[in-house]
Chain A
Amino acid sequence: MKYLVMERHESYVIVLDENGRFFKVANMDYAPGQTLTKVVPMEDIKAKRKKRMGFLALFIALIAIVGIGAWFLLFSGVISGGGDSRVYRFYMGGDIAVTCDSENKVTKIEGLDETGKAVSQVDIENKNITDISIELLEKAYSMSYLNEDSEIFVAIENEYNDDNPALERAADSLENYAEEKYDIEVEKSSWDDYLKDTSNQKYQIDD
């Protein structure tokens, strides 16, 4: 490529290349009219700045995405470490653990004792925590594990003693339903109280 020197400045010269482009290049003692074969182009500051701004915007966007992602994971309960474990515990004649995803959809149900195992044989597909708690109540009642004198226990905290508003709402629905339909009381308690209450129940049942 040949470059024709068009104008001389103190630190640079303007050259015209054979493709019709004008450039600023380092002035190595060149004079207008000279033809060059090798030049050192001046940095395109505007493009450099644009690129820098692009990187900055990308960095900010990345930080925002990470921030939003972290917030979403923490507050939606996908991350369990020390926070919302999304394992719900019900005691309906038997001890039952219900696992839900971040949208409160039931993903797993497990009976933790013999009665719990029998009651927890329900279909969980497309059901949320409120649906399943009512279904468990119906099943336990139909299997005679619950009657008007029974008490249902629900832990409105997880094992890390964190509150869970979703569970509290589900417990409220269950409480209304159980009291209205079967006159069964629902005891909403902390995790520790739940364990204490349910072990008392077992003790009573075993007796």
Chain B
Amino acid sequence: MADKNNELMEMIYKAKNNSREADNLVRLYMGFIKSETTKFLGREAVLGQDDELSIAMIAFHEAVLDYSRFKGPFINYARLHIKHRLIDFYRKEKRHRGLISLDTETEYEDSPALVDTLEETKNELEEFKALSDTKAEIKEYSTQLEKFSVDLTEIAENTPKQKRTLNACFKALEYMVNDSRLMENFLKTRKIPITEISKNTKVDKKTLERHRKYLVAITLAYTNGYDIIRNHIKGINPKKEGENP
């Protein structure tokens, strides 16, 4: 029993800093997560169908990240966290209950569902192609990021939370984008010239250093070949010198 507990503790502490270990732990405890969701729903939870099960999975992961030995047995802690998260989700969803699902069937048996009554506005083939292109671009982007020794989970954790910090990073990005020499060096050396950027943009060096991983990710998106990602980010618009606003 003690060995099993120690083993779980070891897995939890590994999962805190490693997304793969965290994925493994979630997979290993899927039965527990499912049973907690089933208890909450009062019927069997089905993966891919019930949003509640997805919420319970992320709640389990959050419990892993937040857990410490002082909080008592992990399973009890995770159970409680899952329950709270599901209640929270249920409350938020309640606000949208007045909306009708597109899959709702009409009152006449032979009539089609609401979704089927909508006009087809997009070409399915085009959509499929667009999705494939996006997937390919994202895959390439992730592969390139690995060469910079960063992964997307780390980047998500390193993304600035405050608008002011985010704007400081965009200022640094704009400086990089406007200097082809810097962009070439960035791809060659895989380093962000933080001192130079800080000196010329007056952005605090510590701020840039603290968000170095995020800066790498966002700068990489502005090198050649990531049009889809760039087009998606409408909030950032680093102006190249000479461009009209």
Contact = CB atoms under 8 A, between A and B. Distances in A.
A19 B233 CA distance: 6
A11 B234 CA distance: 28
A16 interface: yes
Contacts of B76: none
A46 B233 contact: no
Contacts, number: 113
Contacts of A35: 232
A55 B217 CA distance: 34
Nearest to B93: A40
A22 B66 contact: no
A33 B214 CA distance: 20
Contact of A10 (B57, B62, B166): B57
A43 B156 contact: no
Interface stretch (B6-14, B22-30, B197-205): B22-30
A205 interface: no
B156 A22 contact: yes
Interface residues of A, number: 37
Contacts of A43: 62, 66
Contacts of A45: 62, 65-66
A135 B115 CA distance: 99
B232 A2 contact: yes
Interface stretch (A24-32, A103-111, A163-171, A184-192): A24-32
Nearest to B57: A11
Given A6-B142, A12-B61, A40-B58, A24 B66 contact: no
A92 B76 CA distance: 75
A22 B131 contact: no
Interface of A: 2, 4, 6-7, 9-12, 14, 16-29, 31-35, 40, 42-49
Q: Which 7 A-B pairs give the minimum distances between C-beta atoms?
A: A19-B235, A33-B134, A33-B135, A11-B57, A10-B23, A11-B61, A22-B156
